[in-house]
Amino acid sequence: MFLGQARLESQQHCMKPKRAKTIQIFLPSGDPLGIREAQITTDLMRVTEVPRTAEHLAEFFVMPESQGSASVASTLARPLT
């Protein structure tokens, strides 16, 4: 067996078949251009996308989801360069 063949067989063994997933997108304000929360229905993780406008940032920092997310909040608060 050649090294390349062993490597290929190893990669094929580790690759799992892709499975279909459902993503839910929630619009807290009802505005699709505003804050959006996305979640894969079978996962525990949730992502909150906040547009970088003063209005949307102020709205986000009032939300309970912003509490305890200091690293995310500080990243969002930085000005664009």
| Per-residue pLDDT band at 67 (split at 50, 70, 90) | confident
Range of the domain at 40: 21-63
Q: Does 36 fall in a domain?
A: yes
- Does any domain span residue 7? no
Helix locations, 1-81, DSSP H: 3-14, 54-62, 70-77
The number of helices, as runs of H, and strands, as runs of E, in the chain is 3, 3
Residue 37 resides in a domain: yes
Domain for residue 35, yes or no? yes
The model scores a pTM over 0.85: no
Q: Is 79 inside any structural domain?
A: no
How many domains, in total, are found in the chain? 1
Residue 15 lies in a domain: no
The Cα 61–Cα 41 span in angstroms is: 25
Residue 33 in domain: yes
Question: Averaged over 38-42, what is the pLDDT?
Answer: 90
DSSP 8-state assignment for residue 14: H
| pLDDT band of 26, cuts 50, 70, 90 | very high
66 or 36: which leads in pLDDT: 36
Residue of 35, 13, 17 lying closest to 25 (CA atoms): 35
The pLDDT-based confidence of 30 (bands split at 50, 70, 90) is very high
